[in-house]
Structure 1
């Protein structure tokens, strides 16, 4: 191709898009990233209102300790020196409030097991068997990624025998076969929220992958989720490539090759056509193939697959700032998983009930306190909270096509009703909170669709169910030559999973293995405990502002 604008054009600047772009740029390619929003990052971006900063999609990240895979990615891509992560208290990085029972997750699996056995001795036998199985699956999980020869394939049934026997079982089936107490089952199921699936549809292998991701606890980026794309963009520009924000791609340009199609570049909203040898889409499959390529250019097989594709549930997110002593109210750097119902299959089903908004409260919430995870983000006026609950999309479908700031009155009425339901539920977890609110804003599935272009505002790309992950999921390579797909709908979801997908995308273009793209020379990621500032350097301690907690409003 003559007169190329770039070697590779990347559509979207989420974790997968930026990671692929940076890996290619460091390999010598000229890469151009196009982002529709004014800020890069996708779900990782920050926004600020009234002096408070929020991160809609980043609440914690795993595998950032020494030897961790996520750490290796940021160091290997040359972005680690511009990042700092705070470690959530490993003694209780997850707090469970299930049907009135409170229990804290320890980051160490053997310690978590002991804690479970001490708290629920009547379920000791089942807990012991379940945790032993989980530890075996966690150990075997990375072995699946090391298959590199015929010998590895032949040894796989022996090296990963627990995955072979139990990996395709649902979490619900395993727990119900071992544990009779529904509350204990609920406690062991809370992290299904990180998959966006109920226990009956969560494969045990997938659940073990998540347990492994957090087996040494969770971390939060200093400066919020937006710190990650800032560091990646800085490294991208240092490598000689660039990102353009506020540029919306309207079409992926393709041409017929006789036996299929080939990507040529993109057309942006102002009519310009940009050409490249390769195009990487960080958008989800429907947005990529239906919206950007065009149905008329797809094979019958792909169109049929798209028709069957299911997406993860969208969510509602309440962004709050409160002028209260949140630590005295029981909050810390750990997440809170609240549910009045221990059966998370019922929770997920009820969340999609058309009559959900006729109720006065939600059944389940996820609560994160960013100013306690990153104490340097506290502005001296109020602590921030991000409160999440999954919902169905149908109630918002009627407002599709409307724009922020000009949506119908009915939409605003629905939002007010939802905010009231949030506060009614939050009062059960943090009594008195409603009287200390100094900022409040609600994000809906339409909000998320607007800023991330996610189909139906989905939280984790495609649904991570049996028929849509692994060899049955969407691959990085597509039927269109020169077009790759990265992000949460491909290799894995979450900040780290999407980053790995980006490396897979870059490696497929460069015809190498993705670990070969990582060179950590001169890079060392710094991590510090959120709740123990004695190990912090003096310059970082100086960033903390004193807390002031005015009396509650009458």
Structure 2
């Protein structure tokens, strides 16, 4: 029997953008339903557990701008969640360590300190580095200022308030490198953290690079208790204010009649009706599959079909029964060579042997003493590298989102084993020996990522190009009542970018400048409605939604 129910708003997908938007709609009096096909909410912020001893973050490796006046704390505080998410700051003198042959640079907090550190490391490039950081700092400041402004400015006002962005924002990072006369080694150091957005200097815009860099130079942090606490707190706010999260609930179709959205149809036949649907699902899958291209104009369909995705990642999740040698509380960005533009060309051509790049994130350093991370005396860390785009490299045909069963595919298993071995070998080059102490090792490929998030290309970073360099779709669509949110929209990638996009959309729908309001201290949610957190509070259980918290199959620690 087909079940039908009615809501004020339905959010498809529970990544950070979708949850933030849903929670703000709920605290503003809307009846909101969030539907998530996975077992838990959170998208790229979710965690998984192994051996009842180790918890691994999928996508939260560090967060920027979480100190006083920070964007993410303001977003949570506006929902009444102040104090429910706390942040541990990483090393202010070097939260990212960049290692090239013969050169190590520790990235400190603040544009001035960053510029000084770079010019000391590369004195022959001083003039070019100072010009580069001056432009990027200005673009970053303008971007943040506009994010915190009330309402949407006119074009004339926008140009007047963002002159450096108007000149440089849509140009590529390589163009700025050329303008500053920087050599390959300096370019590599300056773009070393570009895997944070999955694009090389010839594809990434100055706006993207500047916004991400500015974000972290305001301070690098890690959420105490791991990434799942972010999603769990948002679910608490949503449900406390009358909203509902349903996990293991896959939307098969977004329903459209006469140019306006009417609700969603579920796998199994149930229908949920609403005059407002927000898709936090993959943009391309939303347009081409969930809605159907017949409901969009030719230009949107053409751009979507021809879009290029940011590069995906492969990740090793590693636990050892011994602590790693003493090191700073910093991520590691390790490069075999010092020509980053050549590196991205290698990835595109699938010539990544020997492995040219690794990123390492050390959860047991960032969140010491948290029981779920690992037992005392053990280590928990992740090692990542960018991968060639597309299925061919992995020996896969259509991918798991289309229903392909790939895990017993011999070509896939062979490629996965080869890359795992290459990543382990390179990680020991970078970190020293640790293999004999491994007690858990697990590899996630872009195909794994697609299986859990249904993201096109298996990338956590969304669209790289949608109709031109730096172009991305807005949250609005041509279909009345249908909006988009998440890492594919123009508001940017990462946890904070997605959360800011969710805020921007909620503000549009409510007719309020929400980001500016909450940054000034406005409180929309009612903290008194939030549930008490008993001893043993588990963010993973909360993130299943109240209807499934006690369902079987929840992995636990201890």
TM-score by length of 2: 0.86
- From 363, 366, 372, give the equivalent of 2:359: 366
Does the residue aligned with 1:367 lie in a helix, a strand or coil?
Answer: strand
After superposition, the Cα gap between the structure-2 partners of 1:445 and 1:112, relative to the gap in structure 1 and judged at 3 Å, is same
- How many angstroms apart in 1 are the aligned matches of 2:296 and 2:465? 24
Counterpart in 2 of 1:535?
Answer: none
CA offsets 1:426-478 (integer angstroms, 9 cap, x no match)? 11101212222111101011110111110121221111688364xx4211111
**Superposed, which structure 2 residues align to 1:104-503 within 5 Å?**
104-145=106-147, 154=156, 157=159, 159-256=161-258, 261-328=259-326, 330=327, 332-356=328-352, 359=353, 361-375=354-368, 376=370, 377-380=373-376, 382-392=378-388, 393=390, 394-396=392-394, 397-398=396-397, 400-401=399-400, 406-463=407-464, 467=468, 469=470, 472-490=471-489, 491-503=491-503
Tell me if the contact between 1:34 and 1:248 (Cα under 8 Å) persists in the aligned partners: yes
Task: Determine the C-alpha separation between the residues in 2 that align with 1:283 and 1:199.
Answer: 27
Per-residue CA deviations over 1:258-317 (Å, capped at 9, x if unaligned) read xxx111111111211111121111012211111211233333232222122221111111
- Tell whether the 8 Å contact from 2:45 to 2:228 is kept in structure 1 after alignment: yes
Unaligned runs of at least 5 residues, structure 2 = 528-534, 536-558
8 Å Cα contact 1:197-1:464 kept in structure 2: no
RMSD: 2.6
Name the count of aligned residue pairs: 513
CA gap 1:281/1:481 in 2 versus in 1, 3 angstroms: same
Distance 2:267 2:526 in 1: 38
CA contact (8 A) 1:202 1:465 kept: no
Matches of 2:406 and 2:393, distance apart in 1: 19
Cα distance in structure 2, aligned partners of 1:208 and 1:160 = 13
Q: Within 1, Cα distance between the matches of 2:160 and 2:280? A: 37
How far apart in 2 are the matches of 1:434 and 1:319? 13
Shift in Å at residue 348 of structure 1? Answer: 1.6
- Distance in 2, matches of 1:233 and 1:248, equals 18
User: Tell me, which stretches of 5 or more residues in structure 1 are unaligned?
Assistant: 525-538, 540-554
1:21-76 CA distance string (max 9 Å, x none) = 10000001111111001111011110011221111111111111111122211111
SS at match of 2:441: strand
Aligned residue in 2 for 1:504: 504
Q: CA deviation at 1:354?
A: 3.6
Distance 1:312 1:440, change over 3 A: same
Q: Distance in 1 between matches of 2:151 and 2:323?
A: 57
Tell me the CA shift for residue 152 of structure 1.
7.0
TM-score (normalizing by structure 1) = 0.86
SS at match of 2:83: helix
